[in-house]
Amino acid sequence: MSHLMNTYARQPIAFTKGKGAWLWDENNRAYLDALSGIAVNGVGHAHPKLVKAISDQAAELIHTSNIYRVLKQEELADKLCAIANMDQAFFCSSGAEANEAAIKLARLYGHQKGIEQPTIIVMEKAWHGRTIATLSATGSRKAQAGFEPLVAGFVRVPFNDLEAVKAVAQNNRNIVAVLLEPIQGEGGIRIAEKQYIQALSELCAQNDWLFMIDEVQTGIGRTGHWFAFEEMGVKPDVLALAKGLGSGVPIGACLAAGKAKDVFKPGNHGTTFGGGPLVCAAALATLEIMEEEKLAQNAAHLGQYIKERLTQELSSLTGVVEVRGKGLMLGVELDRPCGELVARGIANGLLINVTSDKVVRLLPPLIINQEEATQIVDGVISLIKDFLNG
């Protein structure tokens, strides 16, 4: 570990094996996974169908180049565009790169309309990644500090505040797009209000801006639907995906529809690894498993159960600010920093996360069953009660 760059304050634990919603450490101790590698392992660990798809593809062909046609990539684009109701896909290897593509697309869209200084509206507490451009779009001073100068071309407004967006629109002729998460994940499980996001999408249409949704965390069944935007009754022009898409192999996607279609031309954007046969095989298997096992429905159902129990048993306690979330993307905000709950969870064999200092975040695999959901919710309730009681 001494030869690793010191970029993570890691928990002193390493897992060597996984199955379903469970992980085992080097000493063969079992842990119930209520984090899924941060919303990645939606189909759980070592799903046989996923393992087979990856190993079959590895034996056949791992990489060629985007210089050639990649059949698995075309198949995945068809499938993703069908389920997301989008027109085109660009594949990359992470969430940051998916947003990077969205940002470049929006800028090019602006330039094509004669806007020389294209500017994108972004939100307070947003998280879009750690590359220099996506870090500049991210609304975390902690993540940005020390990396200035940031990339220009973003204006930030408070989340869930339509008037703030309108005010920017009046004073800035360079706006080309709005970029937001339908539920802010790293920002603390903050949900865009339906009315707000619908009005925002209308405002984008009226002004000819791109309405760009970052579903890197919320996408692929996490919130109880394929995508969180469906339930909110909006349709994006640009959609960024990653985390749950490949079940752990590095794949991200930037999807475009309507006026965002055909903005990129050959030479405008690209990547060596993006959308290779191996990762596309994993993503295709992930989508098939999601459908066959009705995992979005499972996330909606068990997420509702977990949220109701958390609300019943925690929301009236002093120290608990709010229980919120959708599907299996849930947060319990406390009135004080609670990062130590992660280690306490590990000691109890339960893997949870704390984000934004005070928000206990749950992102369990979408394949959990009722018994595992009960075990997670019981575990979290007792962790939080013990913590608040000192």
Task: State the binding string over 36-75 for ligand PLP (x if CB under 6 A, else -).
Answer: ----------------------------------------
**Residue 239 Cβ vs ligand PLP, minimum distance, rounded to whole Å:** 12
Cβ closest to ligand PLP, residue 4 vs residue 59: 4
Q: Which is nearer to ligand PLP, 22 or 211 (CB)?
A: 211
| 191 forms part of the interface with ligand PLP (CB under 6 A) | no
Q: Is 127 in the site for ligand PLP (CB under 6 A)?
A: yes
Indicate whether 300 belongs to the interface with ligand PLP (CB under 6 A).
Answer: no
CA distance linking residue 379 with residue 315, whole number of Å:
16
Which segment (125-133, 199-207, 268-276, 362-370) binds ligand PLP by CB under 6 A? 125-133
CA distances from 121 to 79, 81, 168, 271, 273 (A): 30, 25, 8, 26, 30
Candidate residues 72, 128, 324, 361; the one interacting with ligand PLP per rule CB under 6 A: 128
Q: According to the binding rule CB under 6 A, does residue 285 interact with ligand PLP? A: no
Using the rule CB under 6 A, is 353 a contact of ligand PLP? no
Residue (76 or 245) nearer to ligand PLP, CB: 245
Among 216, 220, 310, 367, binds ligand PLP (CB under 6 A): 216
Q: Does 330 bind ligand PLP (CB under 6 A)?
A: no
Which is closer to ligand PLP, CB of 20 or CB of 365?
365
Min dist CB 94 to ligand PLP, Å, is 4
**Chosen residue from 133, 176, 197, 242 binding ligand PLP by CB under 6 A:** 242
Q: Is 219 in the site for ligand PLP (CB under 6 A)?
A: no
Q: What number of other Cβ atoms are within 10 A of residue 2's Cβ?
A: 4
Q: Which one of the spans 114-122, 158-166, 210-218, 283-291 is the region binding ligand PLP (CB under 6 A)?
A: 210-218
Minimum gap (Å) between residue 330 Cβ and ligand PLP: 15
How would you class 361 by CB atoms within 10 Å of its CB: exposed for 0-12, middle for 13-18, buried for 19 or more?
buried
Using the rule CB under 6 A, is 129 a contact of ligand PLP? yes
The binder of ligand PLP chosen from 20, 103, 181, 234 (CB under 6 A):
181
By the rule CB under 6 A, 177 interacts with ligand PLP: no
**Among 26, 76, 71, 18, residue whose Cα is nearest residue 48:** 18
Q: What is the nearest approach in angstroms of ligand PLP to the Cβ of residue 123? A: 11
Residue nearest to ligand PLP (CB): 95
Would you call 220 exposed, middle or buried from its count of C-beta atoms within 10 A (0-12, 13-18, 19+)? buried
Choosing from 34, 188, 190, 214, the residue that interacts with ligand PLP (CB under 6 A) is 214
Query: What residues line the site for ligand PLP (CB under 6 A)?
Result: 94-96, 99, 127-129, 181, 185-186, 214, 216-217, 242-243
